[in-house]
Structure 1
């Protein structure tokens, strides 16, 4: 590829995305990072929940897979950095070769036809002119090569891979936060299912109590068959609501088992009631602080920085490469001469390679890497916008679900008073069965909706935990980068 015909200019896309000064749904105030992992779970006041989160951090298989990807990225960083070092290999040869005489000697038989009158001795002499030869060859030696990195091509490849090793650690942190959030939400769903089951069983008891009252009125002739049948329907409907809730409870427990790395049969979740948990106080801080506390943003940033070095590496491929090679060792045809000074041989060479035309392969790769950078740049900006949106949405959910719980609680209290009054009128015989049935169903529905509203309220705390980075911080970022650097500089095995 001719350099003069290649466009090696690169104008990087503008990635500036200044964050807003404050959140729309919160007062502008700086705040410390949110508590991380199990420390955040403690704030809900459930020892069982804290233990489940701790177990998930240690045994979750998604986290284990992310850790394995870190190991792969560290190894790939070493592979990509190998060209920064000389390559030295040993070449030891012990060889014995037999060369057929028919390929090296031309005897009298080469004239073609031998007369029949030739004596046997003459024939033997003629065939002996084809004598095979045997050779021995012994070599002990070293071969070395090293590419002089004038244009930083190999160094760029090393930096690109090392930044991906950083990104793999940030990805593992993101997976951990997502896993903890899944455990929290699953546990909240278990408690909600238990609350709804308790409500359903209580509603069955209420419906049966009303049915017995109507049945007693029917026996004395002041209630109709229609009245008893309608109340029977209410009882049956409430009983039918129990199996789906039992299904949800058991399946969610199984989901929890997978999250903590256990089989469903080996995990026991006692649960309880969502009403017994405390809602943690969470300060969102400033948008700029949130962006520094999100490992997914750090991951996208590291991938983008890595790709920049990949673009530079692709650009450096256009320029000449100089490789130095050398050989040193001993060679001999006789084994006992192998260590004699005269057997020593060496060679030093340099190789200059300049791409001239390669079917536009280098140019295509260069454009490919630039396109990849543009893609990652767009995804990086989107990740920033998504993080800010997540935080705003979580703050909205926290406020609105809290209000929904309060209002739904008022609705339940009013429906309970209405049912009490309806039952008193039933005793007095001054209420029709349709009004009574409506009053019951209103209470039953209001109670169930309150349980679901409370679930949404606690799930908003989980969403806010995720949106604010799950306890991640610039300090965590520095620690992860230091860990990646230490892995790169660690003992690499038996080779120097």
Structure 2
């Protein structure tokens, strides 16, 4: 079969020739520089984090409302969305370079005539500006890089949403813990003020010593110090939540929730390879690597001839009224080939810069993978130990409560000193504070594991 007599085969051959002229290196995903499995091989049944909506993961209605507000108003997320629009516009610009630019042109001029007087000339037509015929894939490589940049910004938006959901959840849990610590501290302060009042009466009546009175007063003031610290911490956590939401949260943002009643579903860890596929920040780093790889193709193509075509079609007339009637029509075609001969090393430096940029993108991609692996490993380590720590801390609080009750009986019976009673009060207060903080750490670790496994970026259903 004669290729010249078959237009379809001729077109396919031309397409194959143009595709073969691409200077872009074949992209190969780098090997993940992490182990094939987690240090903690424990896995639980359930839906993977990446397919579990945050509305399903967080059951508390107050928290859901706060997350929805943050997704509407948060400025960082808004910037991420605008970055997508900007990247899309940049891609449209690059893609437009692959097509000719056609402009309409109308002009008129007057010049002295050779026989005296003036001569008028009017022209009108269409002009195809310098259109580059992309034989060596320079424009195609730049367009490919722009596509990858756009996809990277989309993944960046997902990663920003994922972090925002987790940050709002952790800030809300901090507020819930703040409310519990404040309630505990107020109760402790009231108890110690009553104990101080009784100790003063015993001191005034000569039953107890001034040492007992000063110790009771010190313990009371310590509780007051703890109360002011908790009030300040609650205000700071409230301000953090306000920044995340983009507006002032309700005064009762915690919704009177209690940490002990809050439960979050366990999510299976799966394999590291699965996590890398699901995490938007890892996919973002890979798209940036794809863009850097495509830029190498554009840098290589700069060494080869650049072929441009300028064309125009129009009419000319000595009278404006006859421009489109009796005018003289004409067509001009002006191809141009530019071959770099001497550029003082500019093209070589551009290629070297593109190669280094790809090496940087590879390192950043590998770092994103390693960071993701560490986050999941840290969360799994917390899941394996924090539940046991909370159980032990509950036992400590129960033991300290019994100790305080027995110390009170011994002191009232005159068997032990007032110092023993004060020490029991201090220990119980510290144990209950640690109990709340450990419960908070356990819940926040579950949020961390959910985010680290790629959960939280799915589109909210408003």
TM-score, structure 1 as length reference = 0.82
Instruction: Please give the residue correspondences for 1:332-343 in structure 2 after superposition, counting only pairs within 5 Å.
Output: 332-343=317-328
Of residues 66, 70, 90, the one that matches 1:76 is: 90
**What is the DSSP-based 3-state SS (H/G/I as helix, E as strand, rest coil) of the residue aligned with 2:449?**
helix
**What is the DSSP-based 3-state SS (H/G/I as helix, E as strand, rest coil) of the residue aligned with 2:58?**
helix
**What is the DSSP-based 3-state SS (H/G/I as helix, E as strand, rest coil) of the residue aligned with 1:312?**
helix
The 8 Å contact of residues 312 and 333 in structure 2, kept in 1 or not, is answered as yes
Instruction: Please give the residue correspondences for 1:5-404 in structure 2 after superposition, counting only pairs within 5 Å.
Output: 15-17=30-32, 20-27=35-42, 32-34=47-49, 35-42=52-59, 46-96=60-110, 133-144=117-128, 145-263=130-248, 268-272=252-256, 273-404=258-389
Alignment partner, residue 3 of structure 2: none
Are positions 1:462 and 2:447 aligned together? yes
The 8 Å contact of residues 192 and 452 in structure 1, kept in 2 or not, is answered as yes
361-370 or 406-415, which deviates more: 406-415
C-alpha displacement of 1:257? 2.2
The 8 Å contact of residues 20 and 288 in structure 1, kept in 2 or not, is answered as no
**What is the DSSP-based 3-state SS (H/G/I as helix, E as strand, rest coil) of the residue aligned with 2:123?**
strand
1:20-42 Cα deviation digits (max 9, x unpaired): 44322133688642122222212
**What is the DSSP-based 3-state SS (H/G/I as helix, E as strand, rest coil) of the residue aligned with 1:222?**
coil
The 8 Å contact of residues 41 and 53 in structure 1, kept in 2 or not, is answered as no
In the alignment, the residues of structure 2 paired with residue 295 and residue 14 of structure 1 have an alpha-carbon distance, to the nearest angstrom, of 16
C-alpha displacement of 1:64? 1.3
412-421 or 177-186, which deviates more: 412-421
Runs of 4+ aligned structure 1 residues displaced above 6 Å come to 8-14, 28-31
**What is the DSSP-based 3-state SS (H/G/I as helix, E as strand, rest coil) of the residue aligned with 1:139?**
strand
In the alignment, the residues of structure 2 paired with residue 314 and residue 24 of structure 1 have an alpha-carbon distance, to the nearest angstrom, of 43
In the alignment, the residues of structure 1 paired with residue 101 and residue 210 of structure 2 have an alpha-carbon distance, to the nearest angstrom, of 97
In the alignment, the residues of structure 2 paired with residue 249 and residue 472 of structure 1 have an alpha-carbon distance, to the nearest angstrom, of 28
C-alpha displacement of 1:249? 1.4
**What is the DSSP-based 3-state SS (H/G/I as helix, E as strand, rest coil) of the residue aligned with 1:84?**
coil
The 8 Å contact of residues 401 and 457 in structure 1, kept in 2 or not, is answered as yes
C-alpha displacement of 1:135? 4.1
Are positions 1:438 and 2:438 aligned together? no
Alignment RMSD (CA, Å): 2.5
In the alignment, the residues of structure 1 paired with residue 243 and residue 188 of structure 2 have an alpha-carbon distance, to the nearest angstrom, of 33
C-alpha displacement of 1:219? 3.8
Instruction: Please give the residue correspondences for 1:472-483 in structure 2 after superposition, counting only pairs within 5 Å.
Output: none
Question: Per the alignment, do residues 263 and 29 of structure 1 end up closer, same or farther by CA in structure 2, a change over 3 Å counting?
Answer: closer
In the alignment, the residues of structure 1 paired with residue 75 and residue 24 of structure 2 have an alpha-carbon distance, to the nearest angstrom, of 45
The 8 Å contact of residues 102 and 127 in structure 2, kept in 1 or not, is answered as yes
The 8 Å contact of residues 161 and 456 in structure 2, kept in 1 or not, is answered as no
1:74-125 Cα deviation digits (max 9, x unpaired): 000011112110111111113446x6x9xx99xxxxxxxxxxxxxxxxxxxx
In the alignment, the residues of structure 1 paired with residue 345 and residue 146 of structure 2 have an alpha-carbon distance, to the nearest angstrom, of 25
The 8 Å contact of residues 33 and 369 in structure 2, kept in 1 or not, is answered as no
The 8 Å contact of residues 29 and 286 in structure 1, kept in 2 or not, is answered as no
In the alignment, the residues of structure 1 paired with residue 298 and residue 331 of structure 2 have an alpha-carbon distance, to the nearest angstrom, of 34
C-alpha displacement of 1:268? 4.9
In the alignment, the residues of structure 2 paired with residue 286 and residue 30 of structure 1 have an alpha-carbon distance, to the nearest angstrom, of 14
**What is the DSSP-based 3-state SS (H/G/I as helix, E as strand, rest coil) of the residue aligned with 1:470?**
coil
Structure 1 regions of 5+ residues with no counterpart? 1-7, 106-130, 477-496
The 8 Å contact of residues 36 and 471 in structure 1, kept in 2 or not, is answered as yes
In the alignment, the residues of structure 2 paired with residue 50 and residue 9 of structure 1 have an alpha-carbon distance, to the nearest angstrom, of 47
Question: Per the alignment, do residues 267 and 92 of structure 1 end up closer, same or farther by CA in structure 2, a change over 3 Å counting?
Answer: farther
Alignment partner, residue 112 of structure 1: none
Question: Per the alignment, do residues 268 and 431 of structure 1 end up closer, same or farther by CA in structure 2, a change over 3 Å counting?
Answer: closer
Alignment partner, residue 110 of structure 1: none
182-191 or 267-276, which deviates more: 267-276
Structure 2 regions of 5+ residues with no counterpart? 1-22
Give the structure with higher Rg (CA). 1
